[in-house]
Structure 1
Amino acid sequence: MVGRVLVNGEAAATVSVFDRGLSYGDGLFETIRFVHGVAPLWSRHMDRLREGCRRLGLPQPDAAALQREAVAMAAGMEHAVVRITLTRGLGERGYAPPASPTVTRIVAGFDAPAMSGDAYVSGIRTRWCETTLALQPRLAGLKHLNRLEQVLARAEWSDPAVAEGLMRDVDGRVMGGTMTNLFAVLDGQLVTPALDRCGVAGVARAEVLAAMPAARIVDLSPEDLARAEEVFLSSSVRGILAVQAVDDTVYVPGPVTRALQQHWRALGFPMEHA
């Protein structure tokens, strides 16, 4: 993997083995799409990062410094993804956090993944994952550093025709994809799963909810999803992805999905690039 990396503002590619992000997953991250040096959802990423820092008891980030570093890491790339990672920094052995943490700040830039226009027009194939999400309301919604549930879920398939896996919580409720949030149209109403018990509240999800104020946040079962008129996924990196199938259940991209894809384009995001 080739990229550009700053650690605490300096060009580097390593952190201390005693960093709490490495030892305990004690931190947060944001994965931000840049197009021609501009990140249309930057403010939403910063809102989530600030909220995550508040809930984890981390010092609030310097958003201006993060933006300077992120823009520098994306410079010269037409399509870039910048990952910002904040950890609680160095600490003594043991779980007890330091009273006055010095945050480790990592800003890394990479070429954005290539995206086919066919995925947006026809939709993508998905599958159900057997790995479930544990319930932990104190961490629900946050993009914290422990992604082991998603790692295990993604390891369940290798078929390149399957673009994403859908996850449920331990009680069987639909939560979303391994790296995406999920929306469905049920009886003409746009809905998305509640994320107050587990899951990641994506910034693209927040954008969709702001653009569609009549949308409802609900508990969603696999049976509900099976009868949906439309299903799509949202991702800050990949945009609005129509779902063509979940295992053997087939869907057709509909007007709500198309309207939100157009909204995504209007924000400044392309719907494909090589």
Structure 2
Amino acid sequence: MAAATTTTRRRRRCVAMIRYVAIMVVALPSIGGTARAACVGLPEQGDGVVAAVDDGRHVRLQDGREIRLAGIEIESSRQAEATAALASLARARRVGLRGAEDVPDRYGRQPAFVVVDDDATSLQARLLGAGEAMVGLGIADSDCRAELLAAEATARMAQRGLWADPTALKNAGNPGDIMARVGRFTVIEGRILSVRETGGTIYLNFGRRWTRDFAVTISRRILGSFEAAGISPKSLENKRIRVRGWVERRSGPQIRIREVGQIEMPGAR
């Protein structure tokens, strides 16, 4: 009986892995192909020639516009590598800008998904696929977000770039390691031990010591977006999730949820 159970479990794991790989292959951006990827298919915001690459996600065009690559974050310890990767892809090249809005941010930089010439893949997807960036926030188009998450996942599975460090994906059960990331954009994975509500805040707790362990907080003001996505925070109890955002220090390390897309359920892929 024990041997049969072990064999069954192995078969289930193999089937799950085969399904996961199949989904990832379908979801991957068409690098070098002719199909237009979701982010590249967003409304056009104009074009220009890249005069300079300021860092891993900012370029300046010859006409003076400053462009911020939307939807990604760069690991500060790998800024030089990300800058070099972006420069090799974009410097002195004509680029097209894509996005639902072209309103500059408070620093005067235009956020956009950027494509070189008529490439089928955005620069964001290329940087993510090389492991030189993490998927960030503010990606309104769900297909575009899924495309970028797939590129990031491919790099993580292949241990490329920042993901070559086995500790790059933080363990929610190690609050001390997470606390060292305060003020930095971080991707964390773990199982939610409990879901509690206090006042207008819902807490997804990854440990029993609320003064020390990692937690994710959700304001009741954004519960409507969770309901629209068919997700109930309470239903996440005992689920393994992946969460991304800026680590804050409260009683212990926390990430505040600003949008539903910050939470992924790896087992759902």
TM range (shorter): under 0.3
What's the TM-score, normalizing by structure 2? 0.28
More helix per residue: 2
User: Which has the bigger relative contact order, CA under 8 A and spacing at least 6?
Assistant: 1
Larger radius of gyration: 2
What's the TM-score, normalizing by structure 1? 0.27
